Structure 1
Amino acid sequence: MRNRPVLPLLLLAFVLPLSAAEPAELAWPAITRDHKPWTRWWWLGNIGDAHSFTSEMEKYAAAGLGGLEITPIYGVRGAEDRFVPFLSDRWVGNLEHVLKEGRRLDLGIDLATGTGWPFGGPWIEGEDAAHYLAHRTFTVASGGTLGEPVQLVQKPLLRFAGRTRVPIADLREPVTANANLQELAIDQVRFPRPLPLVSLMAYPGAGADRAPLDLTSRVAADGRLDWTAPADRGTWTLYALFQGQHGKMVERAAPAAEGYALDHLSSRALARYLAEFDRALTGRATKGIRAWFNDSYEVDDGEGESDFTPRFFAEFTRLRGYDLRTQLPALFDPADSRVLADYRETVSDLLLEQFTVPWREWANRHGALIRNQAHNAPANILDLYAASDIPEQEGNGHLAMKMASSVAHVTGKPLASAETATWLNEHFLSTLAELKATVDGFLLAGINHNCYHGTPFSPPDEPWPGYHFYASVELSPVNPIWRDFAAVNAYVARAQSFLQSGQPDEDLLLYYNIHDRWAVRGTGEMPHFGHGRDPLGVDSLRETATRLVDTGVGFDYISDRQIQGLEYRGKLIESGRQGYHAVLVPPTKFMPLATLAHLVALAERGATILVEQALPTSAPGHSGRLQQKEFDQLLARLTARALPTGGITRLPVGKGEFIVGPDATQLLAIRPGIPRESLTDHGLEFVRRRTDHGFLYFIANRSDRPVNGWVPLQAHGQTAALFDPATGRLGRAAARLIPAQPSQVYLQLPPGESVIVTLENRELTGPAWAYWQDAGETQPLAGTWGVRFADGGPTLPPATTVPALKSWTDFGGDELKRFSGHAAYTLRFAKPAGPAPAWRLDLGRVAESARVSLNGREIATLWQTPYAVVIPAGFLAAENTLEISVANLAANRIADLDRRGVNWKKFYNANMPARFRENTGPDGLFSAAQWAPRPSGLLGPVTLTPLRRLDPR
């Protein structure tokens, strides 16, 4: 929420007529393809042709998807003759067709910069592949020589993604020379060979001059060292550094695209990698790719880590200001983490400078953006996201998801994306309600561009259930839930149409104190960020961020680099077009000198810097030791005028100040202008944005209690409106809008539902929002229901009638126990007695989604509890026909296939493992054979309740 300077507005009041702010008609924003959800489009084996691609794309567009991200992956057994080699002429021809059809259907197209993940392929060889640093130490007595060769033989390693196993001795070198790579599905391979020596440094054990000697050039090809240790210097310690090939292969690689993972720390390696795309696409009609995609940094999920590159020592000296080879004892000393912290920061810098930036520049030269999943990298991913056109998260809790959206806010990027709904439930058990709830979690974290995970392409002639990816929610046209998928997509599009408008409106910048994590040696391995068990990586940051979320204070993370771009103007700390009230520093020990200096400069101009517990004590790393004097002088300048009172210390600096206190809660209590959003006390969650005419909130009730009452909002406006993204309903809200006091808006939100609230500084015209309350007894709709099975399989059951509602699996017979598809329930009933302006039709329990029609008029599509809809009294006739068409899950039909041993799990590589261990079959793959029939259809009870309008005053 912003307290902007008022003088320009006062001047305008004398210039413009009072009628300038004319009333506006309530309306939803016009929906664009970026407002709609996108989906990852898996190309298994790159199987497909122009006709089948067109047929499927038309279904995707009709379902309300806005775009497709093409990711080629592993193939299908038995369909080898249909494989299309990646980047071949035929493959590029298919891409050209898809791009053409995308323009016709208004479907955007993104393309993975490779197949599977991470970047890599058969043209990655030698020094272009990912590397690691290995070391050995030797000791040589004063005046002696080394009695063994300076050598290190790489330990053999072979890891598979699939179920086929072969000894490493049976593999040919290079690994791409093996003919059956789809079958082998190798994740990582290291052959037992001597590693090349990259440096040998000798450190004396005594003497005033302890500078090391570089003996690298004294080592012969066979490892013999031609050197005699100088006398009178004690026992010498020799550190030998070797370059190993990490051996990581592209995971889930498409046919003809298997190979080693790229060295992400080398722009030269990246340039040679991207040249293969230039070779394949130059001169072809491939304009129209919106963005090139990177599916997260997953090089280090094998054994060891990719922490070296051939130019690492030179880059380290450039970035850190000293030669790493002169500090090797400290690098490997368990009691000293300063040099290790510099090493980790250098890896982070190289991932930014040598990979992310040049990849973006390459894409931009080709008229495209990059959509980058920076998480899981051993880097400050805020900086990697900042160098990306569309930062994308994958979902690892609210705090992690905010990393991508924070960067979009701080750097002014319009889209913050997410890979959405990865492995929601077990195969074929994910529901549309779960999908919607997952999307809500991303929206609340500031993500405004969701991309599902995903939709596998399946040829039209493939028997049911077609092709499927192993870690997916099966969002494909063969799944019964697809029928009502469009309703959920409409919900997402409406919500994102608002959340892509205006500007973010967070109050605080929360400093990402990553140097405190880099300084923790731990096992000595590189920490990875944005994913896993501890996505933030810093306990103090996580605790502070959690407290802010729970309190209802909006914030964005900010990195050291991004702090350098902050300016203080008009009582706000600004980054691009965004303004913040303060910077909050969580408990922090290490902070770069440049960061502290810029925060001081901001305070001098009037900014407020909030600091939990105590000021940082040192600059980070070994290089920070060289800056300690300047750092201490800056701290002394800050503390020279300290004003302690009641546990809070104010440190005036120029026109502003640092405020140091025990925790964020107390600091915010004494800093005016940052009121908390107390709607969180009602069990509600929110994200807020600022518009040209006021503010908007996306609010979700993810608690188990309904909300029916006045809800406080800190933003102000002249009028308030409500928009229901699930139904498209809108209206002027009941609101108490008193200047200088929190706004209050009346909300009726059952558990699981969400709403958009706008507060505008202008009059709004349009219908008033309809609030309802029960006006009488609930009346069951009883009678005989006709049930007609419309489509599905494995066979279509005959129509029937039932006197009472129950799962169709209990109607009788095995045919219905294995049926997955759609069934239409029909009931005739008389209009209930009594005057009521509207009635609530409640379907009770539904498994799993329902389309409701009354007297031939389509009323609603319902996919989550409560399965209820308000029906105006005018829709009811004396005699009525109610039709409820229900779609169940694919589970019962899948279970039937597995019980009968039908071979539908026929994919190479990761061939449908179970999401949960209890669903693993004897062959180690997912199996539903043991599942009991899942309830399906309309279970009820179906009721009508008279309603009257509620006037909340």
Structure 2
Amino acid sequence: MLKKYLWIAIICLTSIQISNAQQSPWPIISSQTKPWTRWWWMGSAVDSSNLSICLRAYAKAGLGGVEITPIYGVKGYESRYLNYLSPEWNKALNTSISLARQNGMGVDLNLGTGWPFGGPQISQDLASSNYFIQKYQIQAGQNERLMVEIQQPQQYKKGAYLQALTAYADTGETLILTDFVQKDGTLAWSPEKGTWSLYALFMGKTGQKVKRAAPGGEGWVMDHFSEKAFQQYIKRFDDSWKKVPEVRSFFNDSYEVYEANFTPDFLQKFQYLNGYDLRFYLQELASNELSEKVSRVKADFKATLNHQLTQGFMKPWTDWAHAKGKKVRNQAHGSPANILDLYAQADIPECETFGSTYFPIKGLRRDTADIRKVHPEPLMMRFAPSAGHVMGKKLISAEAFTWLTEHFRTSLSQCKPEVEQLFLAGVNHVFFHGTTYSPAEANWPGWMFYAGVNFSPNNTFWPHLSGLNSYITRCQSILQTGKPANDVLIYWPIQDIWHQTGDVLQQIRVHEVDTWLYPTPFYQIAKRLKTKGYSFDFISDKQVLQTKVENGLLKTISDASPYKVIIVPKTKYMPLETLEALQKLATAGAKIIFESLPADVNGLNQIEERRAVLKKINQGISSWAQISNLDSMEELLAKDAVVTEELVATGLQYIKRKAKEDTYYFLVNHTEKNIDTVVKINEVGKSVLLLDALTGKYGDVPFQKNIKGVNIRIQLKSGESVFVLVQNKLSDSAKKWKYEEEINATDLSTKQWSLTFQTGGPILPQNRTLKNLDFWTNTTDTTAQFFSGTALYSTQFEWKKSTSRYILDLGQVAESAKVFVNKQEVGILWSVPFQIDISKYLKNGTNVIEIEVANLMANRIRYMDQHQISWRNYHEINFVNAHYKPFDASNWKVMDAGLKGPVRIIETR
């Protein structure tokens, strides 16, 4: 009988535990909610044993997947190189996929080596191309025959050839003379009278080869405007793979095809798309004048490049991948095209951060000498998420932390606000940039890529990386739930950019926002709306044409989120098709706001006829749309039930998502102040929970209903974040959120501390006793100044517990820490403020606190360079600093390392 009741008790207890587990508001964790990383294979010199070691370490640290990108190799390991797509290479790839699966990880594959796409399979005729124009003059009665021949020896060697020859008379007459040019270049034509200017259009080659190519991947960069070139490129993969590798998706890096602006059938495509023959406008194409005609011809040229890139590359690539059951992950930025449409064609659109952002967060280290003179633009980050949101994509990825700081000087704490900035833009699937495969036998610091943060086991912050990974995982578990909940669509007038005279190659680059983004009314509206607390995405001409109205709301496809209004910034050149589509949407019940009337139509063909139509539409536009300048736009938005989130007035930033009838808000405090105030949330619910992605804690909070939603108290220190879950049901959570009110603090810094060096190098310094808590580098001991690794600070103290909560505050930490109280691991402190709840670990009487601190790799690298110890030994670009100069750390100052404090126990209630 006793056994019977014991089993009943066990069953009941188990049921209670299962019930409590089911009540957790945190979504289920999967490999896809974890951060992934770009996995560079240097020389593809990989083997099954080291692949297994690496992937086990990555999985243990909390990474959810890898993107394999083969690149150039390490000197001295040539015998281990695996030729790209060889049977041996394919075997290593399949081994990696199998090992990743065993470790619960996913795999993506860069569909090339280095970047951009290209290789030995690309013949010169299908390599990236450009045009060049040569000018001649000929007169009536000229005795000597004119020779139309290439004047650039290098282009002649690359196989450049004449595409068109156009003659312009001083009287205004124009003739196409291409057919009069003989094989030897002799022009079999002469004018009967007057002087003629001749413009010869040649198709040449850029001469670009694959950048950072792996062995077997070297060769010409392909012509991205030619489907024929893509088919030649992809045939190598089809021939190499008997079975398509079991990867999740194929990846394409940012568009870095230099000077490519032409393709063999460009003239025919141009005429088909624009309705006129470009050969009659070679004079305008060659001109640098700021004239309207030149501007329109070049805009049509850019529109043709846009069409060729989307139809000649992106479409056949996605079609090929989908036919094989795979997804496409694509970085569109850098392309000479409407990047919203390119992002939208991918299954997983991907943006990137490049450089370091200034955040005024208290205690966040930022040394301007460590960073490139570029900074990520938050609104630039919104292009990939916007395309994904508008087109109903589930995942928006980002290449994170590219050149965040100088090598070896990036802390985990610096990564937190940068990744939060991505989340606020709409990203929900982060890829580290990155992790280099490094065999176990490689000497420290192991193999490394030249342009990324070294998220590898040899990095001294690796023992604490799981802290960052856990935070990102919890954030992404929510940010991948439901759908984005943005109210406004802002039309991006790409034609205004294309009509800027100058180079016909208008690339939308991350690093050039000061030319194509900052000067525009589009940017001013987006920036204003963001500051005022509106939620929005961007929309392209093509997407406007795809949009429909359902119950007064705007949706591009059935799975996409609905929007309440489209705002059209001040626009000079608008396609008639877009304007007519907006009118049709308005007639169906959509809300459209124009900052001003569209001034003109785009392009050159039938311009007067189209202007007449534009004028007629503009005359009646007030009957179906609203016209408002920027200052009074908020009033119109309010009439359309688009309201601001007033919480931004506190300095908080937010993004929100709808999960059926519930709503998640992600709130971030990137200001220099602590925020503790009541904020308004524009969602109505029956219960409200707060969720801390840093610790995993959550709890109900009291709230008051207001006209728009609910009022709740938000308490966030500088640098902190929290999720708000507004539920349309009563909470089933037994946990209550605990706010902190400090009532007392005990300083442990004056205690005697012991310092024990644990792991690292070049050698372990002597252990010591500290009378005053301090960084281990604030000593005359050079072994400590050179040391990179982990060390344990420990002390003991007497304590008498009460019902209060106790928060351990470490003060200054260089750079991350793992905390133990009475031999129990409490957690990892890797971001500011370095605080953690230790209430349940303290006891009455004598307590012991141990703090394992990891510094960065910089001091040891400084030692190696000062002692001329070889560690960079790579083919091609043999390691450069953040400014692309030869790397040398010998003159660096010693970086602070260790724990300075003050270490305090803060009593709260």
> TM-score scaled to structure 1, two decimals?
0.87
Match of 1:241 in 2: 201
- Equivalent residue pairs, number: 860
Match of 1:168 in 2: none
Rounded Cα–Cα distance in structure 1 between residues aligned with 2:882 and 2:261:
31
The offset of 1:245, in angstroms, is 0.5
Deviates more, 1:814-823 or 1:51-60: 814-823
Rounded Cα–Cα distance in structure 1 between residues aligned with 2:156 and 2:784:
55
**1:464 aligns with one of 423, 441, 444:** 444
Match of 1:200 in 2: 165
Instruction: Determine if the alignment matches structure 1 residue 590 to structure 2 residue 544.
Output: no
Structure 1 SS opposite 2:751: coil
Structure 2 SS opposite 1:564: helix
Instruction: Determine if the alignment matches structure 1 residue 434 to structure 2 residue 434.
Output: no
Q: Deviations over 1:595-648 (max 9, x none)?
A: 00010011112222111133343244445555223222222332xxxxxxxxxx
**1:652 aligns with one of 620, 623, 648:** 623
Match of 1:382 in 2: 340
Q: Residues 32 and 670 from structure 1, CA distance in 2 versus in 1: closer, same or farther, beyond 3 angstroms?
A: closer
Instruction: Determine if the alignment matches structure 1 residue 794 to structure 2 residue 786.
Output: no
Deviates more, 1:676-685 or 1:446-455: 676-685
Matches within 5 A, 1:755-766: 755-766=722-733
Structure 2 SS opposite 1:787: strand
Rounded Cα–Cα distance in structure 1 between residues aligned with 2:573 and 2:527:
21
Instruction: Determine if the alignment matches structure 1 residue 928 to structure 2 residue 860.
Output: no
Q: Residues 104 and 330 from structure 1, CA distance in 2 versus in 1: closer, same or farther, beyond 3 angstroms?
A: same
Match of 1:455 in 2: 435
Structure 1 SS opposite 2:301: helix
Rounded Cα–Cα distance in structure 2 between residues aligned with 1:56 and 1:225:
65
The offset of 1:671, in angstroms, is 3.2
Letter in 2 for 1:424: L
Instruction: Determine if the alignment matches structure 1 residue 393 to structure 2 residue 393.
Output: no
Match of 2:212 in 1: 252
Match of 1:339 in 2: 297
Match of 1:407 in 2: 387
Instruction: Determine if the alignment matches structure 1 residue 274 to structure 2 residue 274.
Output: no
Matches within 5 A, 1:431-830: 431-534=411-514, 536-537=516-517, 539-576=520-557, 577-622=560-605, 624-638=607-621, 651-653=622-624, 657-663=625-631, 665-666=633-634, 668=636, 671-738=639-706, 740-766=707-733, 767-780=735-748, 782-830=750-798
Instruction: Determine if the alignment matches structure 1 residue 939 to structure 2 residue 900.
Output: yes
Rounded Cα–Cα distance in structure 1 between residues aligned with 2:525 and 2:318:
33
Q: Which runs of 5+ in 1 are unaligned?
A: 1-22, 157-189, 639-650, 918-923, 949-953
Q: Residues 618 and 868 from structure 1, CA distance in 2 versus in 1: closer, same or farther, beyond 3 angstroms?
A: same
**1:109 aligns with one of 104, 107, 110:** 107
Q: Residues 193 and 932 from structure 1, CA distance in 2 versus in 1: closer, same or farther, beyond 3 angstroms?
A: closer
Deviates more, 1:863-872 or 1:238-247: 863-872
Letter in 2 for 1:440: E
Structure 2 SS opposite 1:268: helix
Q: Deviations over 1:704-762 (max 9, x none)?
A: 11111112222222211111111101111232223x23422211111111111111111
Q: Deviations over 1:881-920 (max 9, x none)?
A: 1111111111111111111101111111222111148xxx
Deviates more, 1:213-222 or 1:878-887: 213-222
Alignment check: 8 A CA contact 2:822 2:841 kept: no
Structure 1 SS opposite 2:750: coil
Deviates more, 1:892-901 or 1:533-542: 533-542
Alignment check: 8 A CA contact 2:685 2:709 kept: no
**1:843 aligns with one of 792, 810, 819:** 810
**1:299 aligns with one of 236, 241, 257:** 257
Letter in 1 for 2:627: I
Q: Deviations over 1:786-825 (max 9, x none)?
A: 2222211122234332222111123542221111111122
Q: Residues 599 and 356 from structure 1, CA distance in 2 versus in 1: closer, same or farther, beyond 3 angstroms?
A: same
Q: Residues 680 and 623 from structure 1, CA distance in 2 versus in 1: closer, same or farther, beyond 3 angstroms?
A: farther
Match of 1:311 in 2: 265
The offset of 1:252, in angstroms, is 0.8
Q: Deviations over 1:553-605 (max 9, x none)?
A: 11111000000111112121222232111110011011111100010011112
Q: Deviations over 1:638-669 (max 9, x none)?
A: 2xxxxxxxxxxxx123xxx3334355745545
Alignment check: 8 A CA contact 1:838 1:870 kept: yes
Alignment check: 8 A CA contact 2:124 2:220 kept: no
Rounded Cα–Cα distance in structure 1 between residues aligned with 2:516 and 2:98:
42
Q: Deviations over 1:241-291 (max 9, x none)?
A: 1011111111111123221111000000000001111111124xx432111
Q: Deviations over 1:530-568 (max 9, x none)?
A: 543437546121111111111111111100000011111
Letter in 2 for 1:405: P
Letter in 2 for 1:421: F
Q: Deviations over 1:77-96 (max 9, x none)?
A: 22222221111111111001
Question: In percent, how many aligned pairs have the same letter?
Answer: 37
Instruction: Determine if the alignment matches structure 1 residue 222 to structure 2 residue 155.
Output: no
Q: Residues 145 and 86 from structure 1, CA distance in 2 versus in 1: closer, same or farther, beyond 3 angstroms?
A: farther
Q: Deviations over 1:656-686 (max 9, x none)?
A: x333435574554553311111211111111
Rounded Cα–Cα distance in structure 2 between residues aligned with 1:803 and 1:717:
55
The offset of 1:494, in angstroms, is 0.3
Q: Deviations over 1:338-385 (max 9, x none)?
A: 111100110011110000111111111222111100001110000101
Rounded Cα–Cα distance in structure 1 between residues aligned with 2:211 and 2:610:
43
Match of 1:856 in 2: 823
Alignment check: 8 A CA contact 2:574 2:598 kept: no
Match of 1:424 in 2: 404
Rounded Cα–Cα distance in structure 2 between residues aligned with 1:885 and 1:774:
26
Rounded Cα–Cα distance in structure 2 between residues aligned with 1:931 and 1:258:
36
Alignment check: 8 A CA contact 1:701 1:753 kept: yes
Alignment check: 8 A CA contact 1:404 1:416 kept: yes
Deviates more, 1:709-718 or 1:383-392: 709-718
Q: Residues 874 and 279 from structure 1, CA distance in 2 versus in 1: closer, same or farther, beyond 3 angstroms?
A: closer
Structure 2 SS opposite 1:251: coil
Match of 2:357 in 1: none
Structure 2 SS opposite 1:440: helix
Match of 2:371 in 1: none
Alignment check: 8 A CA contact 2:261 2:505 kept: no
Rounded Cα–Cα distance in structure 1 between residues aligned with 2:116 and 2:237:
16
The offset of 1:424, in angstroms, is 0.8
Instruction: Determine if the alignment matches structure 1 residue 328 to structure 2 residue 282.
Output: yes
Give the superposed CA RMSD. Answer: 2.1
Alignment check: 8 A CA contact 1:603 1:658 kept: no
Alignment check: 8 A CA contact 1:138 1:239 kept: yes
Instruction: Determine if the alignment matches structure 1 residue 213 to structure 2 residue 175.
Output: yes
The offset of 1:779, in angstroms, is 3.8
> TM-score scaled to structure 2, two decimals?
0.91
Structure 2 SS opposite 1:140: strand
Letter in 1 for 2:577: A
Structure 1 SS opposite 2:744: coil
Match of 1:129 in 2: 127
Letter in 2 for 1:223: G
Alignment check: 8 A CA contact 1:64 1:490 kept: yes
Letter in 1 for 2:247: I
Deviates more, 1:483-492 or 1:215-224: 215-224
Deviates more, 1:140-149 or 1:868-877: 140-149
